[in-house]
Amino acid sequence: MATLTKKDIKLTRTETSKLSTVDFNNLAFGQVFSDHMLTCDYKDGKWQLPEIVPYSPITLDPSAKIFHYGQSIFEGMKAYKDSNNDVFMFRPLENVKRLNISAKRLAIPEVPEDYFLEGLKALLEVEKDWIPTNEGSSLYIRPFIFASGKGFHASPADEYKFIICTAPSGAYFSGKVNVLIEETYSRSANGGVGFAKAGGNYAGQFYPTQLAKAKGYQQVIWTDDTTHEFIEEAGAMNVFIRINDTLLTSPVSDRILDGITRKSILQLAEAEGIKTEVRKVKVSELVEASKNGSLKEMFGAGTAAVISPISGFGFRGEDFEIPEQDQSFASQLKQRIINIQTNKTEDPFGWRVKL
Ligand SMILES: *Cc1c(COP(=O)(O)O)cnc(C)c1O
């Protein structure tokens, strides 16, 4: 197959850049968007050539299947700029592969890997000045695909749009979160779409999360849908538990998303001499560990926040606090991963990809 090159990607530049209106010292997360986006249409049975166009609203037919049947998937990744103005991505091929795993499950046609990767590189070249350099900040990248094809018939659409937008973002800092262990609602089920980054997975999480918030928690810990005995994810992040000096995380499954941060943390921890175990963790084990003092840390892992520490959890009306650690695995691993992402240290794993 002929691979796509930069020359194949048509570029239409904006006439009115918003760059000068953005305060790079006060960036929220994913609130301002850069000047351009990559768009690529699927029609007549194939993906057409991607183009870079000014960031702008999209017009869709009211019968577009995204609105009715929810064929929609996305990815989340980041680009970083170092002090030499070199631009880096973090394990981008993993996002390409996962997007296509999600696509397959949602009956969406897979995107050629080079359309995504070369398209993204071309977009980053154009948006280079939008990549923040302040400590902890980055250009958040949101690739997504949705069904734009028309018709109320409940079947896969015949047309799709693949778009990549970017948003310069400050450090994602939410503070420590208090979480509620959820035993009524489920994020995902056996045989379902939990392993895919499907928009609908998020829609289904909002209501139980609202209920948890009303009770004073910031986030939900999802348990398995059958028994609710096993810990699966923390909101839309993978979850890690430190018992004594061992770092535990659940194996991925068709209910648990295969997070790139999760697998990077596992590799990094091993390299740092931290003992890791990938195995199912029971809620009762967590409660027991909290009671006997062996529960040292708990944190979520995902691209946006990298690592999000958990201060305590609620379970069946009881609250359990996780004591502050002087030298937490969370801060050690977060710093290691950010240093690799931003080219501050060497990258023994070959994760960084220079633009
Ligand atoms: C995106 C996501 C994650 C984290 O994946 P990363 O690749 O680390 O960003 C974890 N769980 C769910 C449900 C997600 O949607």
Whole-number Å distance, alpha carbon 235 to ligand 1 midpoint, is 9
Q: What is the mean pLDDT of residues 4-9?
A: 89
Position 56 pLDDT exceeds 90: yes
Residue 147 contacts residue 44 (beta carbons within 8 Å): no
Q: Whose CA is nearest to atom 13 of ligand 1?
A: 236
pLDDT for the residue 175 = 81
Residue 317 contacts residue 54 (beta carbons within 8 Å): no
CB atoms under 10 Å from CB of 208, counted, come to 17
Q: What is the mean pLDDT of residues 46-52?
A: 97
Q: For residue range 164-203, what is the model confidence (pLDDT) as tens digits?
A: 999 999 887 668 899 999 999 999 999 999 999 999 999 9
Whole-number Å distance, alpha carbon 71 to ligand 1 midpoint, is 19
- In this structure, the dihedral spanned by the alpha carbons of residues 220, 221, 222 and 226, taken in order and rounded to 10 degrees, is -120
Position 2 pLDDT exceeds 80: no
Position 322 pLDDT exceeds 90: yes
Q: Kindly give the number of the ligand 1 atom that is closest to the alpha carbon of 94.
A: 7
Q: For residue range 77-128, what is the model confidence (pLDDT) as tens digits?
A: 999 999 899 999 999 999 999 999 999 999 999 999 999 999 999 999 999 9
Q: Kindly give the number of the ligand 1 atom that is closest to the alpha carbon of 301.
A: 8
Ligand 1 site, residue 341, Cβ cutoff 6 A:
no
Q: For residue range 205-241, what is the model confidence (pLDDT) as tens digits?
A: 999 999 999 999 999 999 999 999 999 999 999 999 9
Whole-number Å distance, alpha carbon 256 to ligand 1 midpoint, is 9
Whole-number Å distance, alpha carbon 250 to ligand 1 midpoint, is 14
Whole-number Å distance, alpha carbon 118 to ligand 1 midpoint, is 23
Two structure tokens written together for 211? 């209920």
Q: Kindly give the number of the ligand 1 atom that is closest to the alpha carbon of 260.
A: 7
Q: Kindly give the number of the ligand 1 atom that is closest to the alpha carbon of 98.
A: 7
Whole-number Å distance, alpha carbon 234 to ligand 1 midpoint, is 10
Ligand 1 site, residue 197, Cβ cutoff 6 A:
yes
Ligand 1 site, residue 193, Cβ cutoff 6 A:
no
Position 136 pLDDT exceeds 60: yes
Q: Whose CA is nearest to atom 12 of ligand 1?
A: 236
* Secondary structure of residue 232 in the 3-state scheme: strand
Q: For residue range 265-289, what is the model confidence (pLDDT) as tens digits?
A: 999 999 999 999 999 999 999 999 9
Q: Sorting pLDDT into bands at 50, 70 and 90, what band is 1?
A: low
The percentage of residues in the chain with a pLDDT greater than 70, rounded to a whole number, is: 99
Class of the CATH-defined domain 6-169: alpha beta
pLDDT for the residue 70 = 97
**If residue 265 lies in a helix (H) or strand (E), which one and from where to where?**
helix 260-271
Residue 142 contacts residue 165 (beta carbons within 8 Å): yes
Whole-number Å distance, alpha carbon 15 to ligand 1 midpoint, is 36
φ, ψ of residue 308 to 5 degrees: the values are -125, 105
* CATH code matching the domain that covers 177-341, chosen among 3.30.70.260, 2.120.10.30, 3.40.50.1010, 3.20.10.10: 3.20.10.10
* Domain extents in the chain: 6-169, 177-341
Q: Compute the mean pLDDT over every residue in the chain, rounded to the nearest whole number.
A: 96
- Choose the weakest-confidence range: 4-8, 48-52, 263-267: 4-8
Contacts of residues 13-22 at CB distance under 8 Å and 24 or more positions apart, as own/partner, are 13/54, 13/126, 14/54, 14/55, 15/54, 19/129, 19/130, 22/168
pTM of the predicted model as reported, rounded to 2 decimal places: 0.96
- Point out which residues pair with 234 in neighbouring strands: 221, 237
DSSP string, 159-200: -EEEEEEEEEE-------EEEEE-SS--S--TTSSTTS-BHH
Ligand 1 site, residue 281, Cβ cutoff 6 A:
no
Q: Whose CA is nearest to atom 10 of ligand 1?
A: 237
Whole-number Å distance, alpha carbon 136 to ligand 1 midpoint, is 19
Interatomic CA distance for residues 110 and 105, integer angstroms:
10
